[in-house]
Structure 1
């Protein structure tokens, strides 16, 4: 398992020898054994210690022990876990230098090897001590994250805001704020020493105006009240780009401490989960150094060839080896890019989902006026459904149920609701029949008219005893007026109607008067209740 990976550039006054000296010091401190730095620099096949640990080193050097450039060097230390049987820790320190006077690119990788899946004890993320030794004594170049703690106040917050979403930033930012008593959840200086090289620690002092800072930075990129906000680098996605953030609020920090977990280890774990892979791609591993050593040997063999044919053979072998290695490197880089882009898009999608969940939670916890209106409008619908299930649907409920289910096909005027209420008050008994007629009206009948059908199809759908295309010829002036309804300022005469029952009783008789509007393809219902007088 990859636990920790880091990479940074060094430019010590003593050059390569100074770095090797610090590695030798680290081995001595961890294993309680003195290691000759010159032997370490020239390469150690394997050195066993009394506790079972093993040390090895590899370097691209010539027969005189001098570096061959581009220079590659790697030290590997392996030892068993003192607490967890079956687990082995592996630390690798890699050095790469392109020319004698160039900076030294240093990489550190810490991982574990388990003998089987039965080794399941949790691993607490830690930073190898060699990182602190190299950073402290070997002069890291400018621009290395967390060489010092950055302090953000309202005076420089605008400049910091520009830095947050700048595409050149390749490392996370860790904002740490004070609680009300002016205490940080973890010492910024301690956090800086743990994150040096992989993340930049940013402290917001107790005297800073966090409200104004939030106005400048935005809520997403702010931290206050003893919280820790981790802001990862800007990532381009198919939708544009974003900066992923992880906010540890004071309650969460207290919970972590109560579970006997170090908050510094938690922060380091969150960050390395995102940064380990990119740093590991830049690591000068033992395998990579082995390939460089092989190339150097082939080049020396080619130079010592005794004939042009032998030289040509070596050159061909070198070129083939170089081409294969380059092809492999290009393929790996392509896979890394594809993986990075896929992860960025995934993180962006998760960020959007989290945002939608947050917005939805806000709506649910703080209902506004519109939300309350929608909830109030659903009450009659819920009651109608309950009435259907109970088998005692009223005429008004049947009408409202149709209005909701077929809002794209019908318009029910207030006059229809009033007439339905009036029939219900007088004991209307045929709510189920009314609902069935309205369903046919909004389904089969509407579809027939929308497709250019007419009265003949309507009679087939409802039957002659239910559907009437027109009223009696002896309709009086008042009777006509009763069948006139106003819709959008227009007078509609509704003589088409559905009917049930013939008694002069509002409890037994039903008439549904409507008008078909061909242009919007809408059925307008003006009356739903007792028989209208002629």
Structure 2
């Protein structure tokens, strides 16, 4: 008999509750799994998966082609046709790498006549003793039987207080409050993924259908149909927990709106970040987090053949103990045995409770540790800001008049924020050459100051996923981290957005914007220097040509 080795790796897992009004629903569910097996294996016929052992379980390992099947049943308080616990274990070789194998464990456990607990685990491993190159981990996909179960019309699948959806749901104007209630519900165990529209086209910032397929059974996907819907949901969520227009955000269970540091648990991605990382990588990251690494199972979950055998053994002991036919000596032995079983069961429940407690405490400690690190970083930041403030005081004390030109603003900025902002030669010259420099002195000072404080923090400290939206919210100024598609296709236009800093070519496409019509207009293009944590300004002046302005000239 081939067994699943201890060194196997979890590839996918899920578990949820199945609500039904049909007392024989577990039979229908087993037929669904059998149909999936026949489709997945393709070369099988109905007789290969003989109904007697597949439905009733015999504990034997059946080889059909390259597949090994083993089915166990615990009748429990029900019948052989509709048992309390049923599991099928499937082991088969990888189609591409002959030294890798896969296992699938699917269980149904009747809680009562109207509630069935479903759990599934997919694992893989390399053959024992294999020496050689380890193949790449395959893409994470949801097994077809999960979709088959969710699409059944006779049942409702739930996790906590939420229905497990099989397709993304679109949220329209006026529906945000209901979605907000789902997000903050204390009984929600299902992660929710909110996807907003793309900033630069009519589509969404990521392929929602593809993502939902990969996290099926483990999270629900919601589409925010317009920027107004984003604004509506953000009105309820507040700034720290918002899902800005053009971004994606994953809301884990147990959201704490009154604790701003809890916002760090709920991962978000801006359009720019998705484009830089690639949509495929973002989808893969979310899938791994929700379908492989998430806290899916309870401590009492029936997951393996050993769990079903143990449940069957416990039920048998109960039956023997309740029987009136045994003699007095057997009765006393059974009583002692049952007391031992009850004691072990009590200790197991206590252990399960401790595991839950330790897991919760561990999550709290991790959060507290993250908060302490954040406070330390804040202390360092305050110390640095104090040093900068003293430098600024010296600069302002030495000023005999307020700046009257853009050039003077740039000079003061360089002196005031030496660890935050730096200018290239071209950046300084662009300010000197700007014909409207004297018209926007106040705005220039405010924009550069906000770049040295707010923008620097968002880029290098918080590494904000929605940089553009967050900067706009905090400062009121527009920030663009990229150019339009047509501009990016024009090499002559993109050359205008190249500069040299310390002997290296830099890309100064990102820019902060003020005004759209001269003379009240200013564009500050910059390069975020990750290594030195500096915002390097390469242009501070007129509007650089883009596809639109070039077409008009």
Q: Under a length normalisation based on structure 2, what TM-score does the superposition of the two structures give?
A: 0.58
Tell me what 1:394 maps to: none
Indicate which of 162, 169, 180 corresponds to 2:188.
Answer: 169
SS in 2 for 1:242: helix
Tell me what 1:88 maps to: 101
1:452-531 correspondence runs (5 A): none
Q: Is it true that 1:221 corresponds to 2:254 in the alignment?
A: no
Question: 2-side partners of 1:68 and 1:145: how far apart?
Answer: 24
CA displacement 1:337-371 (0-9 Å, x = unmatched):
2023212330353267468869988998xx8xx77
1:24-39 correspondence runs (5 A): 24-32=34-42, 33=44, 34=46, 35-39=49-53
Q: Is it true that 1:56 corresponds to 2:94 in the alignment?
A: no
Indicate which of 101, 108, 111 corresponds to 2:123.
Answer: 111
Tell me what 1:497 maps to: none
Larger radius of gyration: 1
CA displacement 1:407-446 (0-9 Å, x = unmatched):
xxxxxxxxxxxxxxxxxxxxxxxxxxxxxxxxxxxxxxxx
Whether contact under 8 Å (1:221, 1:229) holds in the other structure is no
| Structure 2 unmatched ranges of 5 or more | 1-8, 396-553
1:75-474 correspondence runs (5 A): 75-99=88-112, 101-114=113-126, 115=128, 119=134, 121-137=136-152, 139-141=155-157, 143-147=162-166, 149-153=168-172, 155-179=174-198, 180-206=200-226, 208-234=228-254, 242=262, 244-257=265-278, 261=280, 263-272=282-291, 274-278=293-297, 282-302=301-321, 303=323, 305-350=325-370, 353=373, 372-376=388-392
CA displacement 1:24-76 (0-9 Å, x = unmatched):
1111112232323342121142111222x21111111389962687x111111
Question: 2-side partners of 1:60 and 1:96: how far apart?
Answer: 9
Q: Is it true that 1:20 corresponds to 2:30 in the alignment?
A: yes
- Deviation, 1:135, is 1.3
CA displacement 1:450-489 (0-9 Å, x = unmatched):
xxxxxxxxxxxxxxxxxxxxxxxxxxxxxxxxxxxxxxxx
Tell me what 1:2 maps to: 10
Question: 2-side partners of 1:213 and 1:361: how far apart?
Answer: 32
CA displacement 1:152-183 (0-9 Å, x = unmatched):
45533344334433322222110111113121
Cα distance, 1:292–1:280 mapped onto 2, change above 3 Å = closer
Cα distance, 1:264–1:120 mapped onto 2, change above 3 Å = same
SS in 2 for 1:107: strand
Whether contact under 8 Å (1:96, 1:284) holds in the other structure is no
Tell me what 1:528 maps to: none
SS in 2 for 1:76: strand
CA displacement 1:484-533 (0-9 Å, x = unmatched):
xxxxxxxxxxxxxxxxxxxxxxxxxxxxxxxxxxxxxxxxxxxxxxxxxx
CA displacement 1:241-267 (0-9 Å, x = unmatched):
835111122233234448xx4654332
CA displacement 1:73-132 (0-9 Å, x = unmatched):
111111222234543222111111134x23111111122233469646334322121111
Question: 1-side partners of 2:77 and 2:224: how far apart?
Answer: 55
**Count of aligned positions:** 371
Question: 1-side partners of 2:117 and 2:231: how far apart?
Answer: 41
Mean Cα displacement is larger for which, 334-343 or 20-29? 334-343
Cα distance, 1:300–1:283 mapped onto 2, change above 3 Å = closer
Question: 2-side partners of 1:140 and 1:242: how far apart?
Answer: 31
SS in 2 for 1:219: coil
Mean Cα displacement is larger for which, 196-205 or 56-65? 56-65
| Structure 1 unmatched ranges of 5 or more | 380-534
SS in 2 for 1:275: coil
Q: What is the root-mean-square deviation in Å for CA atoms of aligned residues? A: 3.9
Question: 2-side partners of 1:49 and 1:310: how far apart?
Answer: 44
Question: 2-side partners of 1:355 and 1:5: how far apart?
Answer: 36
